[in-house]
A = this chain, B = another copy of it.
Amino acid sequence: MSRAEALSPTRLKDAAPLFAALGDATRLGLLVSLCSGGPLTVTRLSGQFDVSRQAITKHLDVLAEAGLVKSSRQGRERIWTFEPKRLEDAHQYLERLSREWDVALGRLKAFVET
């Protein structure tokens, strides 16, 4: 394994929590809001969903833990912003998977043609 690969966050053990963070409808909705609606505060965000503000806070914490969002204090309010890096990691992981699949298909095809 190359050093770059060893440090890559797209290794299996790191990819699972990332996908887990994406695996909730409310959290995906939050990502969409922050993505297209720009940086927002918790109370603003919770207005768009029918769950309590505290529930939204928990979801944002999960997303932050996965590195998908970032927050910063600004006076009395906390601003949440989308963080595209980890999304790219997930993207790359999926690509590696399907590439491995294509390789396997290639092997099978070569085997059949023998």
Contacts and interface: CB of A to CB of B under 8 A. Distances in A.
Interface of A: 12-13, 15-25, 27-29, 31-32, 35-38, 82, 84, 87-88, 90-91, 94-95, 97-98, 100-101, 103-104, 108
B104 A98 contact: no
A89 to B, nearest CB: 10
Contacts of A35: 97, 100-101, 104
Among A29, A35, A36, A95: residue with most chain B CB under 10 A: A35
A18 B90 CA distance: 13
How many copies are assembled?
Answer: 2
Nearest to A12: B28
Contacts of A101: 35-36, 82, 84, 87
A103 B27 CA distance: 21
B38 A25 contact: no
A38 to B, nearest CB: 6
Given A35-B100, A84-B98, A91-B98, A25 B29 contact: no
